[in-house]
Amino acid sequence: MPPMIPYEDLKGVNAPFEVALRASFGQTLGSGWYILGGQVQAFEGAFAAFCGARYCVGVASGLDALTLGLRALELPSGGEVIIPSNSYVASIVAVIQAGLIPVMVEPDSRTYNMTAASLAQGITSRTVAIMPVHLYGKPCPMIEIMKIASQAGLKVIEDCAQAHGAHIEGQRVGTFGHIGAYSFYPTKNLGALGDAGAIILNDAALFDKLKALRNYGSEKKYHNLYVGYNSRLDEIQAGFLNVKLPFLDKITAHKRAIAARYDAGLDLRVVKPQISEGDVFHIYPIMVERRDDLRAYLLDNGVGTEVHYPVPPQKQVAFLSLFSGQEYPVAAYLASHELSLPISYAHSFDQIDRVIALVNKFLGV
Ligand SMILES: Cc1ncc(COP(=O)(O)O)c(C=O)c1O
Q: Tell me the per-residue pLDDT of 48-106, one tens digit each, with 9 for 90 and over.
A: 999 999 999 999 999 999 999 999 999 999 999 999 999 999 999 999 999 999 999 99
Determine what percent of the chain is predicted with pLDDT higher than 90: 97
Give the integer Cα–Cα distance in Å for 53 and 36. Answer: 20
Dihedral over Cα of 302, 248, 173, 128: its sign: positive
Q: Is any atom of ligand 1 closer than 6 Å to the C-beta of 231?
A: no
How far apart, in Å, are the Cα atoms of 273 and each of 107, 137, 281, 303?
14, 11, 10, 20
Tens digits of residue pLDDT in 159-174: 999 999 999 999 999 9
**Rounded to the nearest whole angstrom, what is the distance from the C-alpha of residue 63 to the centroid of ligand 1?**
6
Segments in the chain forming alpha helices (H): 10-14, 18-31, 38-51, 62-72, 89-97, 116-122, 142-152, 204-213, 235-244, 248-265, 291-300, 320-323, 329-337, 349-362
37 vs 44: CA distance, rounded Å: 11
Q: Atom 10 in ligand 1: which residue has the minimum CA distance?
A: 62
CA of 65 to the centre of ligand 1 (A): 9
Atom 15, ligand 1: which residue's CA is nearest?
161
| Residue 305: band (very low, low, confident or very high) from pLDDT cuts 50, 70, 90 | very high
Determine the residue type at 163. A
- What pTM was computed for the model? 0.97
| Residue-level pLDDT at 1 | 78
Angle at 364 between CA 362 and CA 365, to 5 degrees: 110
Q: Are 337 and 249 in contact (CB under 8 A)?
A: no
Q: How confident is the model at residue 215 (pLDDT cuts 50, 70, 90)?
A: very high
What rounded mean pLDDT belongs to the chain? Answer: 97
Question: How far, in Å, from the CA of 136 to the mean position of ligand 1?
Answer: 11
CB of 90 within 6 A of ligand 1: the answer is yes
Closest atom of ligand 1 to CA, residue 195: 10
Residue 183 CA, ligand 1 centroid: distance in Å: 6
Question: Which atom of ligand 1 lies at the shortest distance from residue 90's CA?
Answer: 4
For the CA of 66, the nearest atom of ligand 1: 4
Distance (angstroms) between ligand 1 centre and the Cα of 89 equals 8
What is the pLDDT, as a whole number, of residue 365?
81
Q: What are phi and psi of 58, to 5 degrees?
A: -80, 135
Sheet with strand 80-84: strands edge to edge:
55-59, 197-201, 179-183, 155-159, 127-130, 80-84, 101-105
